[in-house]
Amino acid sequence: MNHSSETPGGRALRIAVVSKADHFGGGASRVASELTSLLNAAGHHADHWLSWAGGELTDQQRKLYGSCELPIRAANLVLRRVGFPELIPFELPALLFATHARNYDLLHFHDLSSAISPLSLLYLSRSRPVAWTIHDCSPFTGGCLYPMDCRRFQSRCRECPQLGVWPIDSWFDFTGFQQGLKRRVAGCGRVQYLTPSAWMQKMAVSSGLFHTSPEVLHNGVDLEVFCPRDKAAVRQQLGLPLDRQIVLLAAGSLADERKGARQAISALLSTRDLRPYILMVGSRSPQIRELLNGFDLHETGYLGRSTDLAQHYAAADLFLFTSLADNQPLVVLETMATGTPIVGFATGGIPEMIVQNQNGYLATPGDIDSLSASLRQVLSNPATIHEWSLRGRKHAESLFSHNRFLANHIALYQRMLTGTRRG
């Protein structure tokens, strides 16, 4: 794999990728981890700096706090409780030293919420180019990941309706102060902001924090891991029925209200006579299981390995995904790449991945009647599922491959290092 592995100065790029965690930290941290691996495989040098790891460190990973991890994480928790999360840049000394000792050309930040201070970006951008990918809305709000129906972030965050809910699980409301810190970082004009979707770009611009619009760089998917498989063989291997249509419900936490599992179940209830078999991938929820009483189902619990996820995604006939707020969720790209089409809500950046009635169907968010009717129609028509499956795989190959993802990032880095802008 070779994607212009040299900088304009004639040597390979040296990049520090920074996120709160390894792939155990969720989709944004997975993107950071995959980007690090792709850069190294292409002949560049990339280190992944993280505040905590869910598994053993790889050769590419570096801990931000070393032996001080536990006390610093405890201090961050206390700060969050009193309303000042990410106020103290505990990670700055390590990044300052590493930036010069390892001679990084550029630092690329990803998910910071509850772990890393935006003030580190403000300071580090004085001496090196800095990029920040916006995976959720927290870089321009007072801390919430998604404002939902609240629009205070477009003027000044205050009286936060999500106070007490992670990551704003604090006793006091200082969301206006927190948003002010992020306004200061955006206002310096030295940080290159990126978004995986045009929807998130539009949300960021509506906040009024940015002098220039963030650049859209889509996420990518590993097409070799997430690929179509022989359904009969993989179902036999996983102990799933061979003679039933399988509907997939998947999320890191199925109990997360934002993921809309209750709305999905409302649609499923209308198809009970079709006897779909339910495959649930994600942290178990007794409440969600209770709502599915009467359906045959299989729960996997949380799956951390991509190979395990790919197997289960490929085993399903249809992915029912009714998220109420999302940017460009990896699970949609990954199921599409395995040839499992989606029926769900046209939320956030999801319509940028799904071509209506070509590789899936998206109802207006909250429209359970339309969702139910489409789900029933598709389950009653296996030919539609087959056609959408083939088109979805081709769509993933043409727009969301890891090769394209990597090439777009390298082109961005080179523009940042030469001081040129796109277009």
Res 10: pLDDT: 54
Summarised one tens digit per residue, pLDDT across range 94-119 is: 999 999 989 999 999 999 998 999 99
Range scoring the smallest mean pLDDT among 59-63, 275-279, 417-421:
417-421
d(CA 73, CA 91): 11
Summarised one tens digit per residue, pLDDT across range 396-406 is: 999 999 999 99
- Whose tokens are 């395990």? That residue is 308
Prediction pTM value:
0.94
d(CA 51, CA 56): 13
Res 3: pLDDT: 45
Q: What is the mean pLDDT of residues 272-283?
A: 95
Q: The tokens of 163 are what?
A: 């106070």
- Strands across the sheet containing 277-283: 297-301, 277-283, 246-253, 318-321, 342-345, 360-363
Q: What are phi and psi of 401, to 5 degrees?
A: -70, 160
Res 1: pLDDT: 44
Summarised one tens digit per residue, pLDDT across range 290-310 is: 999 999 999 999 998 999 999
**Percentage of the chain with pLDDT > 70?**
97
Summarised one tens digit per residue, pLDDT across range 309-340 is: 999 999 999 999 999 999 999 999 999 999 99
Q: Are strands 318-321 and 277-283 parallel, antiparallel or unpaired?
A: unpaired
Q: What are phi and psi of 407, to 5 degrees?
A: -60, -40
The conformational region for residue 75 under phi > 0 = left, psi -120 to 50 = alpha, else beta, is alpha
Res 25: pLDDT: 87
Summarised one tens digit per residue, pLDDT across range 374-394 is: 999 999 999 999 999 999 999
Read off the amino acid at residue 214.
P
**Percentage of the chain with pLDDT > 90?**
90
Asked if the model's pLDDT at residue 130 lies above 50, the reply is yes
Q: What is the mean pLDDT of residues 262-281?
A: 95
Radius of gyration of the chain (CA): 22
What's the mean per-residue pLDDT of the chain?
A: 94
Asked if the model's pLDDT at residue 212 lies above 50, the reply is yes
d(CA 21, CA 266): 35
Residues in the chain: 423
d(CA 139, CA 118): 8
For residue 40, CA distances in Å to 110, 194, 202 come to 18, 21, 32
Range scoring the smallest mean pLDDT among 30-34, 228-232, 252-256, 360-364:
252-256
